[in-house]
Chain A
């Protein structure tokens, strides 16, 4: 059986300082290792050539870099690519790369499967199979063939990011730190269905953007779509956001999947205007793309446009997110579900 060594990739600077201390290496070696891991494209410890040979051997006796290439890719006619990665538990996760002229966005997963059970989500059908470590989250970025072109990262792939705070917050630290990827937090958005205690920690400890899945302003209707509403109601989510000083740079957006004949009536417009009053935010409308077995249906273009106009007339900044990778089900967890069934 192949020996599994611990991954260095995904460790924060302070964790690397603990590693070098344990191995009795000089303290400055931690910063050197971080530099190799996050600023240079090394894939093996032996490539860290400013460490002594003895230091590299010591390090390699217990650790490996821990990167893992994607095992499959599907390419859409619109250029979107869906990559499949193998997580360290042997399960599969999906990562969607969406290139545009001036913006190259990567949608990363934070869990294998998901516990949240949203009615419209195909990932939910996998059940929950584990949290991703910070290294596994960051590997989706670093091992992407196009990683040098990335401009934006969104945590909107498989899983609920705020149900894996340890992995997500650690990965955000590495992404935004000078010792790490040095990315601007304004280029990173974390999306949640509204787990309030974790959301508060995120708002306090990170300066990345926040996106909240809304999908209906009415609690009873939202509850049918998203069971989390039973535990953390939308009213309380909005109250938590309102109570937090967001500053001018930080953006709050509300993701709103539009379902045919369900959540786009004048009543919805009026209620959205009421509940979002006083929050500097925008609504991103997403057209629902039916997944197998769902009772929900997709709206047509005219419905989306009418809903957008109605919201804008109420003073709400509203955008329609362009559908990407429809031919490869870029947003739905289908590829990894198929792979999990094969193994």
Chain B
């Protein structure tokens, strides 16, 4: 792990039940899609989180959900503006260019794509975002405003106007005009990533055009 630096939290807002956006001043350059390690103390083992904010913004935002059994998130959720945490330099290679492509995300797997989006890489992308409930479609308003019909929100546990009802896998499997020449970027649970990757390959997308990020 890269060395850790102390940062002071600007805000730590609960954006949906159990989901938080934590922000702190940006003191490093990064490529959208990269991750940082976060720890409460310099001696702790850092946990990895994708940066969710744009690479020209003055702050770095991290999206996380509280895992009751987790080693970090219950403590993180108790922090307020002015408290400090330790962060690593950014690293990782889940990066995307300006070519037309499709982003598929579930849960907090939206973070690398929101970073790409807020960094200006969303102009010719389609974003398929899924979660169980609509309040877990993080940053939805911004995506809707900028991406219009290229943004497809979906949720599985409730029916909401303008939101596809079902899993992202189902949405893609029903899509008749799936463009097999595009690159597909996936980020979310291992199960979603593997299922969607299998589907895309089955539908004719070359496996080298399926770029998957994992949580662990």
Contacts and interface: CB of A to CB of B under 8 A. Distances in A.
A114 to B, nearest CB: 7
Interface in A214-257: 219, 223-224, 227-231, 233
Given A119-B197, A125-B194, A127-B191, A227 B212 contact: yes
A125 B191 CA distance: 6
A163 interface: yes
A228 B214 CA distance: 7
Given A127-B191, A227-B193, A115 B202 contact: no
Contacts of A113: 190
A293 interface: yes
B115 to A, nearest CB: 14
B201 A295 contact: yes
Contact of A124 (B194, B206, B215): B194
B119 interface: no
B150 to A, nearest CB: 24
Contacts of B213: 227, 230
Contacts of B46: 197
What is the interface residue range for chain A against chain B?
20 to 34
Contact of B190 (A116, A229, A295): A116
Interface in B98-139: none
Nearest to A198: B45
A116 B216 contact: yes
A223 B194 contact: no
A197 B3 CA distance: 12
Contacts of A293: 198, 201-202
Contact of B214 (A116, A125, A219): A116
Interface residues of B, number: 29
A155 to B, nearest CB: 17
Determine which residue in B35, B190, B202 has the highest number of CB atoms from chain A within 10 A of its CB, and name it.
Answer: B190
A229 to B, nearest CB: 7
B45 A197 contact: yes
A163 B1 contact: no
B84 interface: no
Interface of B is mostly: mixed
B1 A128 contact: no
B207 A115 contact: no
Interface in A93-136: 113-117, 119, 124-128
Nearest to B205: A295
Interface string B189-211: 11101110110011000111011
Given A116-B216, A229-B93, A230-B213, A127 B197 contact: no
Contacts of B211: 223-224
A221 to B, nearest CB: 8
A195 B45 CA distance: 13
Interface in B1-37: 1, 35
Contact of A115 (B1, B91, B93, B216): B216
Nearest to B93: A230
Contacts of B45: 197
Contacts of A197: 1, 45-46
A137 interface: no
A12 B216 CA distance: 26
Nearest to B94: A230
B48 interface: yes
A8 interface: no
Interface centre among A116, A163, A228, A230 (most CB of B within 10 A): A230
B91 to A, nearest CB: 8
B158 to A, nearest CB: 23
Nearest to B35: A231
A117 B35 contact: no
Interface of A: 113-117, 119, 124-128, 160, 163, 195-197, 219, 223-224, 227-231, 233, 293, 295-296
Given A115-B190, A228-B214, 7 more contacts: A115-B216, A117-B194, A119-B197, A119-B207, A197-B45, A227-B193, A233-B93
